[in-house]
């Protein structure tokens, strides 16, 4: 019953759809502007982001060593896999070698680029 009265009132107030959309956009815009002015100071957010950046930068050397370790494991397992394929005289030995070498190169390149991504020079 109450909804019907509101609908009738809205239809009588602004009969065109464009006018309704315009009033809705103006209402949303002013609400967003008031919310932004109420927030005002963003130093807490920037301080938190700076803290997170320094904390993540502490873990970069460990992740670099982990990338090297994973590259070593991939190389060893890949070498064993290629050896088995060569002994079984399979056809796709070159493909396996290229995939393993590519994976190792990617891991080593990622380990080299990670400190530069975070701006750590050492």
Q: For position 106, what pLDDT does the model report?
A: 95
Q: For position 16, what pLDDT does the model report?
A: 63
**25 and 67 share a domain?**
no
122 lies in some domain: no
C-beta neighbour count of 107 within 10 angstroms = 20
94 lies in some domain: yes
**68 and 97 share a domain?**
yes
User: How many structural domains does the chain have?
Assistant: 2
**6 and 58 share a domain?**
no
- Please list the rounded mean pLDDT of every run of 10 residues in the chain (122 residues): 62 64 64 56 81 87 94 96 94 93 95 87 66
Q: For position 48, what pLDDT does the model report?
A: 87
**61 and 78 share a domain?**
yes
Residue 100: which domain range?
Answer: 43-117
Cα dist. 67→73, 78, 103, 113, 115 in Å? 10, 16, 11, 11, 12
pTM (whole model) above 0.75: no
């Amino acid at each position: 019953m109450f909804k019907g009265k509101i609908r009738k009132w809205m239809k009588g107030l602004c009969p065109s759809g464009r006018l309704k959309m315009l009033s809705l956009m103006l209402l949303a815009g002013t609400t967003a502007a008031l919310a932004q002015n109420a927030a005002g100071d963003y130093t807490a957010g920037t301080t938190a982001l700076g803290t997170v950046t320094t904390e993540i930068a502490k873990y970069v050397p460990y992740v670099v060593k982990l990338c090297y370790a994973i590259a070593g494991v991939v190389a060893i397992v890949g070498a064993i896999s290629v050896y088995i394929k060569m002994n079984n005289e399979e056809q796709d030995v070159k493909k396996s070698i290229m995939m393993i070498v590519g994976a190792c190169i990617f891991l080593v390149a990622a380990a080299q680029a990670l400190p530069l991504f975070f701006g750590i020079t050492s």
